[in-house]
Amino acid sequence: MKRYSFKGGVHPPQNKNTAGLPVVDMPLPEKVYIPLSMHIGAPCEPLVKVGDSVFKGQIIGDVKSGLGAPVHATVSGKVEAIKVSTNAAGQNTGYIVIQNDFEERLSPDITPSDKAPEEYTIDDVVSAVRKAGIAGMGGATFPTYAKLQSAYGKIKYLIVNCAECEPYITVNHRLMLEHPERIVNGLMLLMKVFGLSRGYIAVEDNKLDAAEALESAIEDPDLIDVCVMETKYPQGDERQIIYALTGRELTSGHLPFEVKCLVLNAETVAAIYNAVIYGMPLIERYVTVDGDCVAEPKNLNVRLGTPISELIDYCGGLTSEPHKIICGGPMMGIAQWDINAPVIKGTSSVIVFSKNKRKRFSFNPSCIHCGRCVGHCPMHLMPNYLYAFAKDGQLDRCVEFDIMGCVECGSCSYDCPADVPIVQTIRAAKGKINEEQRARKAALNKTFVVPEKEDESKKEGRRVEH
Ligand code: SF4
Ligand code: SF4
């Protein structure tokens, strides 16, 4: 069987310890903490106040304008507080805290669609997906309605990303095994509204049982190709999937639709189907809980807003002192500041590592010019040069060497024999470059020329600072 792949990448130990464990519904929490921002774009404004009674699935926050996605009550109950607290990325965010009444009263706004599948239009899908608050569930959290909208009429390849290349995480694997029809139905629905006669599902070859489950759920094999990819990190990055399946390269600053592709995560596709056909908002998701500190690793179905400490408790608690708690995989996930941070739309896993699992980086590293990082970089960058320029504060040189094309996959740091903290340094430099660009833009917006009214002969104008 053909194995699709890309150039570069690494092979970290997979540690898919929970692949054989069916997803378990986690008991409902006493309280949920719903962040007003768990997507890329503007944060939501609260639409409820303290003391309000809310239904499960009710919209409780939405963005006033621009890119964003509404947030919903994930349990029925009473709004206990609206406050600011630290989110999963360590930033301050508004939260709506709901005391669960355990009555599971569903919002009367949630009604199944009465349309036949062939009657759906892109507008129906975009509007249902926006109302459901769906944002990329693979971790990117880009509002899905906007992704669909911008790709409409421009794509040839619609690809469901079931690669799940990050070590430890097995939620997509379980979804494919337990509910392959959700992915297949979601893909078929999207193919219909996009007017495509063929769809693609990309699965790594460490999940051949899942590929088989998907193939058995497909009624007409001429419509959907299940494409088996080499197990390699970061195969799940959409640029690598696009290259592997179509041979098209997506360079920095470009979007998949520019090469006629749309890539959606497996759980996102299932959530789209749920939203369009049943009117269900995104209020729960699958989460893998694993790591050498966790007593009983599990795959859980969890309401958004549940504190990650409760997931760990439900998995038997910790067996040793944790050194790091990561949401979203050991390669690209985010180390948590607060064990009570809640599960959000992009939380695919909670991994708890002891000190034994930490990767040591040198404080005074010395590159030995082995070139390994260059060979591993899936974006064909020169990570060693980017590191050197970033460390010296030569941001212009970083830009010249396309630092913004770095997808922060960490493949370079993972296999560096000199323990150089490459991706960490690159990430910090990218942050500084973005900051500088924002400041320059703000300065430009503040300074403009106003023509002198009082003396028409003087056309030069004067500069006004606000
Ligand atoms: S892998 Fe490490 S030591 Fe080798 S060239 Fe890259 S930065 Fe230098
Ligand atoms: S430079 Fe960026 S894209 Fe390339 S391997 Fe390192 S982290 Fe990945």
For atom 4 of ligand 2, the residue with the nearest CA is 377
Distance (angstroms) between ligand 2 centre and the Cα of 132 equals 34
Using the predicted structure, report yes or no on whether residue 399 has a pLDDT greater than 50.
Answer: yes
Bridge partners of 135?
143
Using the predicted structure, report yes or no on whether residue 156 has a pLDDT greater than 90.
Answer: yes
What is the CB < 6 Å shell around ligand 1? 367-373, 383-384, 387, 416-418, 420, 422
DSSP-assigned letter for residue 256: G
CA pair distance 205, 207, nearest whole angstrom: 5
Q: What is the amino acid identity at position 380?
A: H
Q: Which of ligand 2's atoms lies nearest the C-alpha of 413?
A: 6
For atom 7 of ligand 1, the residue with the nearest CA is 384
Distance (angstroms) between ligand 2 centre and the Cα of 433 equals 17
Distance (angstroms) between ligand 2 centre and the Cα of 102 equals 46
Smallest CA-to-CA distance from 80 within 56, 58, 52 is with 52
CA pair distance 344, 284, nearest whole angstrom: 9
Using the predicted structure, report yes or no on whether residue 183 has a pLDDT greater than 90.
Answer: yes
pLDDT in tens, 64-102: 888 999 999 999 999 999 999 877 667 788 999 999 999
Q: What residue ranges in 144-283 does DSSP mark as E strands?
A: 157-162, 199-204, 224-229, 261-265
pLDDT in tens, 193-213: 999 999 999 999 999 999 999
Whether 187 and 158 have beta carbons less than 8 Å apart is answered as yes
For atom 3 of ligand 2, the residue with the nearest CA is 406
Classify residue 363 by burial, with Cβ atoms within 10 Å: 0-12, 13-18, 19+. exposed
Q: Which of ligand 1's atoms lies nearest the C-alpha of 419?
A: 2
CA pair distance 67, 438, nearest whole angstrom: 18
> What pTM value is reported for the model?
0.91
Mean pLDDT of the chain: 92
Q: For strands 349-353 and 284-290, give the pairing.
A: parallel
Segments making up each domain of the chain, as ranges: 117-278, 372-446
CA pair distance 270, 272, nearest whole angstrom: 5
CA pair distance 423, 283, nearest whole angstrom: 33
Using the predicted structure, report yes or no on whether residue 456 has a pLDDT greater than 70.
Answer: no
- Residue the block writes with tokens 């669909």: 148
Smallest CA-to-CA distance from 32 within 216, 220, 308, 378 is with 308
Ligand (nearest to CA of 386): 2
Give, for 62, the enclosing helix (H) or strand (E): strand 59-62
Q: Residues for the chain: how many in total?
A: 466
pLDDT bin (cut points 50, 70, 90) of residue 449 is low
Collapsing DSSP states into helix, strand and coil, what is residue 60?
Answer: strand
pLDDT in tens, 224-246: 999 999 999 999 999 999 999 99
CA pair distance 168, 126, nearest whole angstrom: 33
| Torsion region of 250: left, alpha or beta (phi above 0 gives left; psi -120 to 50 gives alpha) | beta
CA pair distance 45, 62, nearest whole angstrom: 5
Smallest CA-to-CA distance from 161 within 147, 150, 152 is with 147
Whether 79 and 96 have beta carbons less than 8 Å apart is answered as yes
**DSSP string covering 70-125, please?**
-EE-SS-EEEEEEEEEE-TTS-EEEEEEEEE-S--PBPTT-----S-GGG--HHHH
Give the CATH number of domain 117-278.
Answer: 3.40.50.11540
Average pLDDT, integer, range 2-17: 93
Smallest CA-to-CA distance from 233 within 160, 350, 329 is with 329
Spatial strand order in the sheet of 261-265: 224-229, 199-204, 157-162, 261-265
Average pLDDT, integer, range 388-411: 95
Q: What is the pLDDT of residue 443?
A: 84
Residue 336 vs residue 305, higher pLDDT = 305
CA pair distance 256, 133, nearest whole angstrom: 22
Q: Both tokens of residue 238?
A: 């959409």
Distance (angstroms) between ligand 1 centre and the Cα of 382 equals 10
Using the predicted structure, report yes or no on whether residue 309 has a pLDDT greater than 60.
Answer: yes
Q: What is the amino acid identity at position 102?
A: F
Q: What is the pLDDT of residue 338?
A: 86
CA pair distance 462, 71, nearest whole angstrom: 47
In 39-75, which positions are buried (b, 16+ CB within 10 angstroms) versus exposed (e)? bbbbbbebebeeebebbbbbbbbbbeeeebbbbbbbb
What is the CB < 6 Å shell around ligand 2? 376-379, 381, 383, 406-412, 422-423, 426
Q: In whole angstroms, how far apart are CA 11 and each of 14, 47, 108?
A: 8, 46, 48
- Residues of the chain above pLDDT 90, percent: 80
> Helices 144-151 and 122-131 meet at what angle, rounded to 10?
160
Three-state secondary structure string covering 401-446: CCHHHCCCCCHHHHCCCCCCCHHHHHHHHHHHHHHHHHHHHHHHHH
Residue 308 backbone phi and psi in degrees, to 5: -65, -25
pLDDT in tens, 273-296: 999 999 999 999 999 999 999 999
* Cα 340 from chain centre: 20
CA pair distance 4, 232, nearest whole angstrom: 10
Using the predicted structure, report yes or no on whether residue 324 has a pLDDT greater than 50.
Answer: yes
